[in-house]
Amino acid sequence: MNITAGIDTGTQSTKVVFYDYDKKQIAASSSAQHNLISRDDGTREQQAEWWIEAIEACFSQIPAEIKESVRAIGVSGQQHGFVPVDAAGAVIRPVKLWCDTSTALECDELTDLYGGSDKLLEGPGNLVLPGYTASKILWFKKKYPELYAKMTKILLPHDYINWYLTGEYTMEAGDASGTALLDVRTCTWDEELLKALDPERDMKSLLPRLVKAGEPAGYVTEKAAGILGVPAGIPVSCGGGDNMMGAVGTGTVEDGFLTMSLGTSGTIYGYSDKPIIDPEGYLAAFCSSTGGWLPLLCTMNCTVASEQTRALFQRGVKEFDAIAEKAPAGARGVMMLPYFNGERTPNFPNGKACIVGMDNENMTEENIARAAMESAIFGLKMGLDSFIRLGFSAKEVRLIGGGANSPLWRQIAADIFNLPITVPVLAEAAALGGAVQALWTLEILSGKSTGIKEIVREHVEIDDAKTCRPDREAVLVYEKVYKEYAAYVDALSGLFS
């Protein structure tokens, strides 16, 4: 057996897949749950040690024969989390996550220090938003100055896991671009923004060396190998954020393809051979983890809306879908603005969820249930509109995340986007992306010239049975409903800013 392992450490759990690249199939997989620290002020945090415990639990579930056949490892991690590390490699505070909205004031402060939003877009290419890492660093500096002084490295979640595996501190452009500190045009740190963050300290020295896509972050140490049961000395690829690895695991590594993830958060992103900077700031100007760029829109509320609504009505998942399917496209005018966690796009850190458009006739469980599902796609359509406005020619959307399991949600997405929706055969796209990226690195190290596009075409398969195509009548309905949805968002924006 020849195996590459893909580790995906997300918000809710860690998943590991062991990919047999000769047979092109998953030889084994495992998962372990995480806890979450939540507070009313928007705080969302985790202990970094929980990720390591979860990884070790995942590997302990796998037969020794498979683990001993691992030839390389690739790591996917939730983006933007701020992992402050001291000189001994210890994490000195709980990790502020991507979904933490408690640093909105620091975003405004850092933006002003740099010279404003327009200058940010002209310079590094991204706004400083609550989800990103930059404001979390400033928050840490202000709230915990003694701990801040002890910090010797700034890591992202996947970087920390790479360090656990290899003992090396590294970053790569894809995940690093989500800090808001990287100039995405040149894939180098924006030194003016680093100086605005802390004029008295050499912030660049706190950031790990940047490795290029395809290069290894390092090699598995004897210690990590002994704990996990894999061979020591095998390469660990550069890895990336969960969206970057999801792009690899779905085949979004060349122009024309979009990947959309329906999970706790919602994301839509597409590969580009050149930087794409959205002057309106809806699309994040991220780099990919394959040597290109990955413009992306992220909403902080996706399956959150349906899960909250399902809990309210005390329904099971399949039962909820069946109820929502009884309502027509557009839910007879009922709409949900699903800002349960505040929101990142649009930038409403203080946003609240709303149900609008109800009257004596349409206030039913069926309509509210469907409106919850539609709201997730309406939020992501802002991203599709931005892609089209910036000249991206979309031909297909590849759907992943928990929502991809719902036939109704797949059809709603096809109708609202007016594009074919396809689903990869292997559902754990980010973990698979880690395994495929690891295979790419392995081939580069062995002297082969195979590119990531060729590897992805060979190893990412689409489930034709789950493909959905737009229904013309529903498309026309949603064109009208989406305009009404956008009008509600605009009308209520003053309450959320």
| Contact call for residues 171 and 188 (beta carbons, < 8 A) | no
Q: Which helix (H) or strand (E) holds 438?
A: helix 429-445
CA gap 392, 254 in Å, rounded: 12
CA gap 244, 321 in Å, rounded: 30
| Contact call for residues 271 and 265 (beta carbons, < 8 A) | no
431 three-class SS: helix
CA gap 437, 420 in Å, rounded: 26
446 three-class SS: coil
Helix/strand/coil percent split, the chain, to 5: 40, 20, 35
Q: Which helix (H) or strand (E) holds 307?
A: helix 303-313
35 three-class SS: coil
- Which among 183, 190, 242, 278 is annotated as catalytic? 242
242 counts as catalytic:
yes
CA gap 190, 129 in Å, rounded: 16
| Contact call for residues 436 and 456 (beta carbons, < 8 A) | yes
Phi, psi of 38 (to 5 degrees): -125, 140
CA gap 215, 442 in Å, rounded: 9
List C-alpha distances in Å: 281 to 278, 322, 352, 478.
Answer: 5, 37, 21, 25
Q: Where would I find the beta strands (DSSP E) of 330-385?
A: 335-337, 354-356
| Contact call for residues 70 and 233 (beta carbons, < 8 A) | no
CA gap 482, 487 in Å, rounded: 9
Structure tokens at 244: 């970057």
| Contact call for residues 124 and 178 (beta carbons, < 8 A) | no
Instruction: Give the gyration radius of the chain's Cα atoms.
Output: 22
Tell me the one-letter amino acid at 282. Y
Tell me the one-letter amino acid at 160. Y
CA gap 428, 448 in Å, rounded: 27
The residues assigned a catalytic role are 242
